[in-house]
Amino acid sequence: MDDRPILQTRNLSIYFGGLAAVNGVNLDVPYGKTVGLIGPNGSGKTTFFNLISGIYKPSDGEIRFKNENLTGCKSHQITRKGMARTFQNNRLFWQLSILDNVILGMYTKQQAGLIDVVFRYKRVRRELAECASRAMEILRYFSPELSEQPERLAADLSQGDRRRVEICRALASDPALLLLDEPSAGMSPEETDKLMEDIGKVKERFRDISIILIEHDMTVIESIADHVFVFNYGKKIAEGPYADISRNEEVLEAYLGKEADDA
């Protein structure tokens, strides 16, 4: 495998008005590893995700993915390069079934276009059927219960199941890099345990996959992340293994505040 990082950002920045939401971030995500991204609310973690997944255009800096400069590319182009993500507040296609949602994750794998739909529909059907069976396989792997009711609408699912479907949808595109934006948000402790199990399953099945995980729950970070980046006020203030980070003074300060500054 390549020694070079799968994702590199250099001086990555975005300004909203005068505010630097992400400010000069240099960050390397190694191949095949799971890295954690932590920091207080509003420290720019999700904005960072939105930058690398193409939802925002960076004001400055560079994004390299698999050694290719993707700065300024649009979301759908970046997805095609092999990056997939989930969202902080689940963004499923609510009026579509579980199965439709996961099949949409394979959108880039389907070749058939308008001409095929009109004139060579057999091809389209075959392709869709293949996608459907693969989607069912992924669903079954993560949740046999969900795979038994693939026609349920996404809107009718519980929080935990929504997150699970979203992860299945992201994995359906066979991504090289998976971005998980605070997957445990709004989950009960039991659901969080289940989630950690699921992430473990992801790594077991998709062995080469790299993951960036935004998380507030430090037990999740501790047990899953090989490496941790800490953000504060849009800047990366520290990085290293969790054990080091959890003793880093600057990090503790960011989370708990300095006593002298309490005012």
Partner 1 sequence: MKKGPAGLLLLLFLESLFFALVLVFLVVEEIIPILAVILGTVVLSFVLVKYERLNAFLQDLFSHYRKTAVAWGLIFVLALPFILHDSPYLIHLLFLSGLFAVLAIGLDFQVGSTHLVNFATAADYGVGAYTAALLAVNFGWSFWIILPLSGLAAALFGFLLGLPTMKTKTYYLSLVTIAVGLIIYLLLNNLSWTGGSDGIAGIPYPTIGGFSLGNSVRLFGMELPFQANFYYLVLGILFLEFVVARRLYQSKIGLAWNAIRDDEIAAACQGIDVTGSKIMAFYTNAFFDGLAGAIYAFNVGFIAPENFAFMLSVIVVTMVIIGGMGNVTGVIFGAVIMTLIPEKFQVVQSYRLWLFALIIIIMLLARPKGLFPQKTRQYA
Taking residues 172 to 191 in sequence order and writing x for each that binds partner 1 by CB under 8 A, - otherwise, the string is -x------------------
Which of 24, 60, 124, 174 is in the footprint of partner 1 by CB under 8 A? 124
Sheet of 60-65, strands arranged across:
19-29, 7-16, 60-65, 68-69
Angle of the 189-205 helix axis to the 121-142 helix axis, nearest 10:
120
Residue 96 within binding range of partner 1, rule CB under 8 A: yes
Nearer to partner 1, 108 or 246 (CB): 108
Which of 23, 43, 46, 53 is in the footprint of partner 1 by CB under 8 A? 53
CA proximity to 254, closest of 224, 234, 227: 234
Q: How far is the CB of 74 from partner 1 (least distance, A)?
A: 7
Q: Cβ(225)–Cβ(242) under 8 Å?
A: yes
Q: How far is the CB of 85 from partner 1 (least distance, A)?
A: 6
Using the CB atoms, write b or e for 180-195: b if 16+ within 10 Å. Answer: bbbbbbebeeebbebb
Burial degree of 253 (CB within 10 A; 0-12, 13-18, 19+) = middle
- 141-160 binders of partner 1 (CB under 8 A): 151, 153
Tally Cβ neighbours within 10 Å of residue 246: 15
Say how far apart CA 18 and CA 126 lie, in whole Å: 52
Q: Binding segment for partner 1 among 15-23, 77-85, 197-205, 241-249 (CB under 8 A)?
A: 77-85
Taking residues 7 to 46 in sequence order and writing x for each that binds partner 1 by CB under 8 A, - otherwise, the string is ----------------------------------------
Q: Cβ(106)–Cβ(131) under 8 Å?
A: yes
Q: How far is the CB of 52 from partner 1 (least distance, A)?
A: 11
Q: Binding segment for partner 1 among 63-71, 83-91, 216-224, 242-250 (CB under 8 A)?
A: 83-91
Under the rule (CB under 8 A), what is the footprint of partner 1?
A: 53-55, 74-76, 79-80, 84-85, 87, 91-97, 99-100, 103-105, 107-108, 110, 112-114, 117-118, 121, 124-125, 127-129, 132, 151, 153, 169, 173
